[in-house]
Amino acid sequence: MTTEIARHWRLNAQRYQLIGEVCPKCNGKIFPPRDVCPYCADDHAQPEYKFSGQGEVYSYTTVNKAPEGYEEMAPYTVALVKLEEGPLVTAQLTDVANDSVSIGMPVEMVTRKLYTQGDEGLIVYGYKFRPHLVAA
């Protein structure tokens, strides 16, 4: 359990704010952070980059038979979200009926409960996306 708590705190920025990196060579926006830029293969240290959390549904599916630990959430929709800055992020959609999701739908990142862990009941929060109403 102790290693899980340490991992939880180490990943806080990525779970709550969509913190990635920006490549100093090609200016590519990278999420999640990695050692080598996926756009130009530069392997120098990349400075942190905070994504806006705005994007659109690129693709999606509804999960009816959930994996162990997520059964209470089923059915739920998981989407590939194309962030404004370019990267694709996989995340659960929230605050929307499963049959109301559509490709191209504007979404925004929100922090929500992901699951409860272990006998101690550690609640793990993270990012999900909800519909974003665009002003006309």
Is the residue at 78 inside a domain?
yes
Is the residue at 41 inside a domain?
no
**CB within 8 A of 17, min separation 6: which ones?**
50, 51, 53
Is the residue at 36 inside a domain?
no
Q: What is the mean pLDDT of residues 8-19?
A: 64
Q: What is the pTM for the complete model shown?
A: 0.81
Q: Give CA separation, 127 vs 14, 24, 53, in Å.
A: 8, 26, 9
Is the residue at 44 inside a domain?
no
Is the residue at 5 inside a domain?
no
Give the single-character DSSP code of 119.
Answer: T
Annotate 19-59 with DSSP letters as a single string. Answer: EEEE-TTT--EESS--SS-TTT---S---EEE---EEEEEE
Is the residue at 17 inside a domain?
no
Which pLDDT score is estimated for 13?
56
Taking the C-alpha atoms of residue 74 and residue 64, their distance in angstroms, rounded to an integer, is 5
Which pLDDT score is estimated for 53?
94
- Domain span holding position 125: 53-131
Which pLDDT score is estimated for 24?
93
DSSP-derived 3-state class of residue 110:
strand
Q: What is the pLDDT of residues 79-129, one digit of tens each?
A: 999 999 999 999 999 999 999 999 999 999 999 888 777 777 788 888 999
Query: Structural domain tally of the chain?
Result: 1
Is the residue at 8 inside a domain?
no
Q: Is the pLDDT of residue 14 over 80?
A: no
Is the residue at 24 inside a domain?
no
Q: What is the pLDDT of residues 20-76, one digit of tens each?
A: 999 999 999 999 888 999 999 999 888 999 999 999 999 999 999 988 877 888 999
Q: What is the phi/psi pair of residue 5, to 5°?
A: -65, -45
Q: What's the CATH code of the domain at 77?
A: 2.40.50
